[in-house]
């Protein structure tokens, strides 16, 4: 096996070379080189003498091979993909990529009411359209139905039907995400807290927050 220096030509990007080598040096894994040291082989970059024992060098070589071939750890179900994504094994100092979901989809640990409210908030400013249930235009019950669908709850379509779902809630006990029916049963929205109703108001008015008074409420319902 030939010995090479870091100046060896390689098809790997310089950023990858630096990550592989610098990550190991940052932890002190490669102290000053001594005569008769064991070799470390980094594919596509070169082979380097180190002061490690043969056993330790073999362990590092195994880690390097797993990283560069995209091995996946079946116990942790870590993403594979080699140098492009981050393999199942990690070189010291090189962190794996982090993935996340935006907005209300990150709130799976919360109840359906909170998830529905967060979903409805993303539609503030959407235009009112009678009979529409999203995803771009809504009427009042269409917005409520769409928001709760994002939480995995299927609600009926009209405000009258929605006035019978879940459990009744007194006005003074309203919590964010509760369904609130007003206007004699002809209008519905989602309680947003602080005396505000998030709703598709009427033609010409986009989805927005409006003030809510106790004398407006026909019934309030809680989905649990």
Residues annotated catalytic, as ranges = 140, 187, 199
Q: Which two tokens stand for residue 7?
A: 């100046």
Residue that is written with structure tokens 């594919």 in the block: 43
Give the span between the Cα atoms of 71 and 63, in whole angstroms.
10
Residue 28, classified by CB atoms within 10 Å of its CB into exposed (0-12), middle (13-18) or buried (19+), is: exposed
Q: Which two tokens stand for residue 97?
A: 């990529």
In sequence order, the β-bridge partners of residue 202 are 205
- Residue 160, phi then psi, degrees to nearest 5: -65, -45
In sequence order, the β-bridge partners of residue 5 are none
Q: Name the DSSP letter for residue 155.
A: -
Q: Name the DSSP letter for residue 172.
A: G
Through-space distance between the first and last CA atoms of the chain, rounded to whole angstroms:
66
Question: Do residues 22 and 93 lie in contact, with contact meaning Cβ atoms separated by under 8 Å?
Answer: yes
- Using DSSP bridges, classify how beta strands 217-222 and 38-42 pair: parallel, antiparallel or unpaired: unpaired
């Amino acid at each position: 096996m030939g010995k090479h220096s870091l100046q060896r030509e390689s098809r790997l990007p310089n950023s990858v070379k630096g990550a592989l080598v610098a990550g190991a040096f940052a932890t002190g894994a490669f102290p000053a080189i001594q005569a008769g040291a064991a070799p470390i082989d980094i594919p596509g970059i070169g082979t380097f003498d180190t002061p490690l024992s043969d056993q330790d060098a073999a362990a590092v070589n195994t880690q390097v091979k797993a990283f560069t071939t995209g091995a996946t750890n079946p116990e942790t179900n870590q993403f594979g993909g080699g140098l492009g994504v981050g393999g199942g094994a990690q070189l010291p100092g090189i962190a794996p990529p982090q993935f996340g979901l935006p907005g209300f989809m990150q709130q799976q640990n919360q109840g359906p009411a909170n998830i529905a409210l967060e979903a409805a908030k993303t539609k503030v400013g959407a235009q009112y359209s009678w009979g529409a249930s999203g995803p771009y235009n809504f009427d009042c019950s269409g917005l409520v139905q769409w928001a709760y669908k994002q939480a995995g709850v299927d609600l009926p379509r009209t405000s009258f039907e929605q006035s019978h779902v879940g459990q009744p809630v007194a006005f003074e006990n309203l919590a964010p995400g509760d369904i609130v029916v007003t206007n004699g049963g002809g209008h519905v929205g989602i309680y947003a807290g602080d005396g505000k109703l998030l709703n598709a108001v009427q033609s010409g008015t986009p989805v927005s927050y409006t003030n809510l008074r106790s004398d407006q409420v026909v019934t309030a319902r809680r989905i649990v």
